[in-house]
Amino acid sequence: MNYCNLITIFAFINLLVSIPHGYSNYVETKAGQFFSSGHTNNWAVLVCTSRFWFNYRHVANTLSVYRSVKRLGIPDSHIVLMLADDMACNYRNPKPATVFSHKNMELNVYGDDVEVDYRGYEVTVENFLRVLTGRLPPSTPRSKRLLSDDRSNILIYLTGHGGNGFLKFQDSEEISNMELADAFEQMWQKRRYNELLFIIDTCQGASMYERFYSPNLMALASSQVGEDSLSHQPDLGIGVHLMDKYTFYLLEFLEEVHPASQANMNDLFKVCPQSQCVSTPGHRTDLFQRDPGSVLITDFFGSVRKVEITKDTINLTSPVEPPIKRSGSSDIQIESLTYVDQLPVAEIIHQQDCLEANVTRCRRKQQRTRKLNCQVVEKQTA
Amino acid sequence: FRLSSLIGHISTCPSLIGQCCQRHPGSVDEFQEELVIRPLHSGDIYASFQFRTLWDTDFLQEGQKVSHYRLFPKSLGQVLSKFSVRELHISFTQGFWRTMQWGQPFIPSPPGAELWVWFHDTVSDVDGNWKELTNVLSGIFCASLNFIDLTNTVQPSASFKPLGLGNATDHRFLRYATLPREIVCTENLTPWKKLLPCGSKAGLAVLLKSEKLFHSSFHSQAVHIRPVCQDEQCTSKAWELRQTLNVVFDLYTAGQGKKAFRSSIYLNCGKTGELFELSPATPLLSQAVVLGDRRTYSVFDLTRAETFGQLRSLNLLLRWKGDGGEMLRPLLHAERYVAGFGLQTGEIHTVIYNNHPYRAFPVLLMDSVPWYLQLYIHTLTVTSKSRDNKPSYIHYQPAKDRHRPHLLEMLIQLPPHSMTEVTVQFERALLKWTEYTPDPNHGFYVGSSVVSALVPSMVAMSTNFTQDQPLFSSFVPVKEESSYFVRVYTEPLLVNLPTPDFSMPYNVICLTCTVVAVGYGSFYNLLTRTFQVDEPSLPLAKRLANLIRRIRGVPLLT
């Protein structure tokens, strides 16, 4: 009896010890998967390079990627959104403050809390390259900077009109594939990214990633060299084409993705085959070190926050004391403050007389003709 | 008969109001919000939202850094202290305010973006501070304010006196700039809403839905920061942040409206009660004098529970009773247009109307024209009632190419019931090809003229600046009872500059290369090409025979 009891007690104690051990093993493997990608923060640079109302679809493309990226967790402070023209509040838009991606106005990708960092004439090749390489003037605000470090995964999305080896910005200038490759090399040398995903939706888009030579780059394009990317469907109410085919199917794919999904890059490569897209989407993974099958979509499109569990206690400092209000000393007479006269006519005319007297004084180099109470009369042309 | 109606529904959340949007006990921040709805004679509805945050602190206090922000937004507080700003006024407007149809707005603003700032007199480099300030504000408001530089900044010498407390008015510390091309859309409204203490989650800000706001004839949002009196005695200053949003809805397109009302709503009943009928009728009526006009307002105070009634909802219904009476004509009105033809010269006409039947009053006209419209000031004429009207104050600063715009300020006395016309001729400059925008054939904008005036008032204005006044009547300080200050903006101008054909460099290169290749190439060939007779190649047998003959030294076969 005692022996049986001893065995059951022993087994019970063993069970008690092994369960947490097994559980911590499980936690460790999960934690191991958690940290396998090597990045700690996510950034996105989304650029639409086309101007004019008939290029509505390029703005809709960019905004649909913006919407997916925001929905999956990347905050506005980590997104640099560049839109070369305003479609939502354009006077030709029959529904102001909206940009639709599906016909019959089903989905408004503009939303209610969009923040555009570069808009209108600010979207230039120079500004785009400066954002990527970080060489911005010192007075640039934080929301317009790409403050990535060597553990950032960056998603770069470009759309607009392009050709073999170039992408047109605002109908007046262009960026070549060599410039883009050099910019990425500068980013690599300055350790401004951990991994970079480059997506481009233009005609002959594959030519833009042909010249990349920096490591850890993965690129996707909507069409091969010699092919045109086509637009999807027009909306008769708005009067223009709403989206491009590739980004339309990309949006449909991304709508299925949620922050915890395990979809990987191989699924992304299958988006929009030739039967749907008419053009042949291409991709390039030779510069990427990990296997695309092990790269999650949320590594680039989402922002999965890492949590560090600490077991030490931290002592908080004492709270800030509110400043003691200056005791109104009643002995000193404080004169009451007044508002300024908005249109002091007499003073303005007096100013004119002072100016004229100054001029006559300069010319004649004599005593003043009239004694005017002109205080420091600064030369207005200073 | 019933033309249209405006229906609002509400769901109350009194706990949220209690925590957030009320006066904080123990702290010195105060928040007040207000919505004024005024039906206009043209059938539109003018809605003016004002949100005011008062903060009792002194940024420039020695040795004390402000680090605790409650209701006042931290982003603006840091900007004010870093750049030693005394007053800041920024507005974003879409559309043009039609004074003749809609009357005077509570807070006027020009189309596009406008920024004017008074700096403290401790600042040594005003231009440097101005440049950095515009960059920081462009990040805060998601607007292209970084395009404000010395080529479109002016330093007015008599206009734009400070609206806040203070004595010193040295105009060296004032900067004014306007971007008439700036677009206003949801991306500007989002950060504007974030500056409110409760964001857009509680209070009147819940009504601010971008799809409704931008589907309107006029939309203007502004931020005004200035020092004001803290109390009646006015011995110390407090910072006032006023966020205003003025919208004019065209009812035929806007349709259904708002969601929830909080705090107080003032509804302008108009002079005659016959224009429309209001239900539910409210017992609270208040009279306020604003812009020289005494009007009656129905007040709905949303902090009191009895406003909401049984269903805990507020349903405002306005029923028009047919065509109303005559609208009061605004006393001051201005227009501006470009005359002339061609792309070489032109003439700017500014027309100012004084509609007062017997009183004359002075106006200060400020014009800021970009350098590429070269003004000929010797052709400046000011005529009223077809007679010359000499201004009592003229300040003109000529432009410097690519450095500074023109600035023209004039104090003109407008005779009663008259039209005054100011004309000046200009010539259009040819820009360098890199200075054109990507769409140069759209044209170039010239900012609105600003007309500031002291208009005689039919009704005595009150000069007491008390805290209990409604917000819409306490924006501009009133110094005397018989007149009120008003600012009118004219239309911006859209001017076409001579635009080159940007495809010409490509055309020229193609043509030149073709001409050179065909012409010079042929000529060179003619001169230097020689012709030689080419012998046909021999068959193999003959070649072997020639080899043997060469060895033997005998003449070769052909």
Candidate ranges A28-32, A199-203, B255-259; pick with highest mean pLDDT: A199-203
Is the pLDDT at B451 greater than 80? The verdict is: yes
Torsion-angle region of residue B435: left (phi > 0), alpha (psi -120 to 50) or beta? alpha
Q: What are the chain A neighbours of B136 within 8 Å (beta carbons)? A: 139, 141
Nearest by CB to B479, from A120, A341, A381: name it.
A341
Q: What are the structure tokens assigned to A260, written together?
A: 């915890």
Residue A379 pLDDT exceeds 80? no
Which residues in chain B are contacts of A323 at CB distance < 8 A?
Answer: 64
Distance separating alpha carbons of residues B282 and A200, to the nearest angstrom:
60
Residue B433 CA neighbour count, 13 Å, CB half:
8
| CA distances, B521 to each of A37, B510, B528, B532 (Å) | 62, 16, 11, 20
Closest C-alpha to B385, from B352, B410, B432, B424: B352
A342 contacts in chain B (CB < 8 Å): 161, 163, 452, 454, 476-477, 479, 485
Is the Cα torsion angle B100, B103, B109, B112 positive or negative in sign?
A: negative
- Residue from the list A88, A89, A171 with its beta carbon closest to the beta carbon of B438: A171
pLDDT score of A376: 42
Could you tell me the pLDDT band of residue A377, with boundaries at 50, 70 and 90?
Answer: very low
pLDDT (mean) for B253-267: 42
Tokens of B544: 């072997």
Verify whether the Cβ–Cβ distance B214 to A322 is below 8 Å.
Answer: no
Strand A195-201 with A217-221, pairing: parallel
Higher pLDDT, A41 or A31: A41
Instruction: Give the model confidence (pLDDT) of B405-432 as tens digits.
Output: 999 999 999 999 999 999 999 999 999 9
Contact B393 A349 (CB under 8 A): yes
What per-residue confidence (pLDDT) applies to B306? 58
Q: Which helix (DSSP H) or strand (DSSP E) does residue B229 occupy?
A: strand B218-229
* b/e B385-402 (16+ beta carbons within 10 angstroms → b): eeeebebebbbebebeee
- Residue A312 one-letter amino acid: D
Instruction: Encode pLDDT of B315-352 as tens digits.
Output: 565 555 555 555 677 889 999 999 999 999 999 999 99
The tens digit of pLDDT for each residue in A53-68 reads 999 999 999 999 999 9
Q: Which residue of A has its CA nearest to B136?
A: A141
Contact B144 A119 (CB under 8 A): yes
Residue B278 has pLDDT above 70, yes or no: no
What pLDDT was estimated at residue B148? 94
Give the residue numbers of A marked as catalytic.
161, 203
pLDDT at residue A234 tops 80: yes
| Lowest-confidence segment of A76-80, B26-30, B222-226, B395-399 by average pLDDT | B26-30
Which residue on chain A is closest to B406 by alpha carbon? A381
Q: How far is A67 from chain B (nearest CA, A)?
A: 14
Average pLDDT, chain A: 84
Mean pLDDT of the B212-221 span: 91
On the question of pLDDT at B197 being above 80, the answer is yes
Tell me whether residues B393 and A121 touch, CB distance under 8 A.
no
How far is A96 from B94, CA to CA, in rounded Å? 12
Pinpoint the alpha helices (H) of B142-270.
186-194, 210-213, 251-254
- pLDDT tens, position by position, A300-338: 998 877 677 888 888 888 776 665 555 444 445 566 778
- What residues of A are in contact with residue B452 (Cβ under 8 Å)? 342-343
Å from A76 to nearest chain B CA? 11
Nearest CB neighbour to B186, from listed A88, A340, A343: A88
Q: Give A19→chain B minimum CA distance, Å.
A: 46
Would you give the end-to-end CA distance of chain A in angstroms?
Answer: 107
Mean pLDDT of A175-199: 95
- pLDDT of A4 > 90? The answer is no
Cβ contact, residue pair B234, A117, below 8 Å: no
Which segment of A31-40, A219-228, A237-246, B184-193 scores lowest on mean pLDDT? A31-40
At A123, the pLDDT band (50, 70, 90 cuts) reads very high
Name the pLDDT band for A34 (thresholds 50, 70, 90). Answer: low
Q: Do B186 and A349 touch (CB under 8 A)?
A: no
B476 contacts on A by Cβ (under 8 Å):
342
Name B518's Cβ contacts closer than 8 Å, sequence gap at least 6. none
pLDDT in tens, B33-55: 888 888 887 778 888 888 888 88
Q: What is the pLDDT at residue B527? A: 94
Quote the pLDDT of residue A12. Answer: 74
Shortest alpha-carbon distance between residue A322 and chain B (Å): 8
Q: Is the dihedral of CA A235, A240, A242, A247 positive or negative?
A: positive
pLDDT for res B112: 95
CA A135 to chain centre: 17
Residue A249 to residues A197, A282, B404, Cα–Cα distance (Å): 18, 15, 50
What is the least distance, in Å, from the CA of A175 to any CA of chain B? 15
Whether residue B27 has pLDDT greater than 60: no
Please, how many CA atoms are within 13 Å of residue B421, restricted to the half-sphere of its CB? Answer: 12
List the single residue in B with minimal CA-CA distance to A84: B438
Residue B448 near residue B178 (C-beta atoms within 8 A): yes
Q: Do B452 and A342 touch (CB under 8 A)?
A: yes
Question: Nearest-CA distance from A124 to chain B in Å?
Answer: 10
Looking at every residue in chain B, the average pLDDT score rounds to: 81
Identify all chain B residues contacting A334, using CB atoms and an 8 Å cutoff: 235-236
Return the structure tokens found at B165.
């407390």
CB atoms within 10 A of CB B64: 11
> Residue B437 has what DSSP assignment?
-
- Smallest Cβ–Cβ distance between A343 and the set B163, B237, B452 belongs to B452
Q: Which of A121-125, A203-207, A365-369, B446-450 has the lowest average pLDDT?
A: A365-369
Identify from A77, A337, A349, A379 which residue to disrupt to test chain B contact, counting B C-beta atoms within 10 A and taking the largest count. A337
Instruction: Please report the pLDDT score of residue B304 as a whole number.
Output: 60
Which residues in chain A touch residue B210, judged by CB atoms under 8 angstroms apart? 97, 112
* Cis peptide bond upstream of B280, omega within 30: yes
pTM assigned to the model: 0.83
> Percentage of chain A with pLDDT > 70?
82
Size of interface A-B (CB pairs under 8 A): 163
Is there a contact between B142 and A115 if contact means CB atoms under 8 Å apart?
yes
Q: Cβ A115–B161 below 8 Å, yes or no?
A: no
Strand ranges in A214-291 using DSSP code E only, listed in sequence order? 217-221, 282-284
Contacts of residue B183 in chain A, CB cutoff 8 Å? 86, 89, 119-120
Quote the pLDDT of residue B302. 63
CB spacing of B439 vs A171 below 8 angstroms: yes
- Report d(CA B337, CA B388) in Å as an integer: 20
| Lowest model confidence (mean pLDDT) among A207-216, B133-142, B472-481, B521-530 | B472-481
Nearest to B474 by CA among B205, B164, B183, B25: B164
- How much is the pLDDT for B345? 93
pLDDT attached to residue B130:
96
Check if the beta carbon of residue A201 is closer than 8 Å to that of residue A246.
Answer: yes
Residues of B in contact with A98 (CB under 8 A): 211
DSSP letter for each residue of A147-198? ---TTEEEEEEEES-EETTEEEETTTEEEEHHHHHHHHHHHHHTT--SEEEE
pLDDT for position B287: 61
pLDDT of residue A10: 74
**Nearest residue in B to A172, CA atom:** B438
Whether the pLDDT of residue B547 is over 80: the answer is: yes
Nearest-neighbour CA in chain B from A335: distance (Å): 6
- Residue B186 and residue A111: Cβ atoms within 8 Å? yes
Task: Report the pLDDT value the prediction gives residue B256, as an integer from 0 to 100.
Answer: 38
**Residues 6 or more apart in contact with residue A353 via CB below 8 angstroms:** A370, A372, A374
pLDDT band at B557 (very low <50, low <70, confident <90, very high): confident
pLDDT in tens, B501-534: 888 889 999 999 999 999 998 999 999 999 888 8
Residue of A nearest to B191 (CA): A115
Higher pLDDT, A200 or B103: A200
pLDDT at A265 over 80: yes
Q: Which residues of A172-189 are buried (b: 16+ CB within 10 A; e: fewer)?
A: bebbebebbbbbbbbbbe
> Residue B234 has what pLDDT?
78
Task: Let me know if B67 is exposed, middle or buried by CB neighbors in 10 A (0-12, 13-18, 19+).
Answer: exposed
- DSSP 8-state assignment for residue A299: H
The amino acid at B134:
T
Which among A115, A340, A348 has CB closest to B162? A340
Q: Kindly report which listed range (A253-262, A318-327, B196-205, B206-215) carries the lowest average pLDDT score.
A: A318-327
Instruction: Please give the pLDDT value at position A374.
Output: 55
Contact B135 A171 (CB under 8 A): no
Inter-residue contact B486 to B414 (CB < 8 Å)? no
Sign (positive/negative) of CA torsion A149, A154, A157, A163?
positive
Nearest Cα to Cα of residue B221 among B94, B364, B404: B94
- In chain B, residues with a C-beta closer than 8 Å to the C-beta of A322 are 68
- Asked if B211 and A140 come within 8 Å (Cβ–Cβ), the reply is no
- Highest mean pLDDT: which range of A61-65, A315-319, B257-261, B463-467: A61-65
